Amino acid sequence: MTASFHKPSFAIDIYVNPAVRCAGINACGMYWAAATVTGSVTSGQGTATISCAYAGDEHPSQTTGGTQASMRCLYDLPPSATMTFTQTTGGYFGGTFDNWTNVCSGSTTCTLVLPGTINGAPLGTLTILGAVFDSQ
């Protein structure tokens, strides 16, 4: 068996801001909402779907000092691929989408094209799409 490794060309970074939720008297805790970014990737090789998800987390006894949680997913995608991304939140506590960062901005669907090639060789850079979510 021969293993072949490729340098990733694209990354999705998910950032989730924490929130404190109380379920009763003196029963508060820090939590991070679940979040997912899903994209349709179209290239000369066809169309595929990629997804990056953060499952969420909870610390029932912690009420201060929560930091932003993050998840990075790496992909080896062909140069000049066209991608369209959407986002969802979920889990027990839910959350809201705040904004895209890096190669997209705003708070609606993100569409982008990966950089092309130089003399037939892919550009050696990592394109990063960031997505910021707020826990509620």
Q: What is the mean pLDDT of each successive set of 10 residues along the chain, which is 136 residues long?
A: 70 91 73 92 93 87 76 89 89 81 88 71 74 90
Rounded CA-CA distance 32/18 in Å is: 5
Which two structure tokens, joined as six digits, stand for 107? 């708070």
Residue 90 · residue 77 · CB < 8 Å = no
**What residue has token string 């404190």?**
20
**What residue has token string 């892919």?**
122
How confident is the model at residue 21, as a pLDDT?
A: 77
**pTM of the predicted model over 0.75:** yes
HEC assignment per residue over 57-79: EEECCCCCCCCCEEEEEEECCCC
How confident is the model at residue 121, as a pLDDT?
A: 55
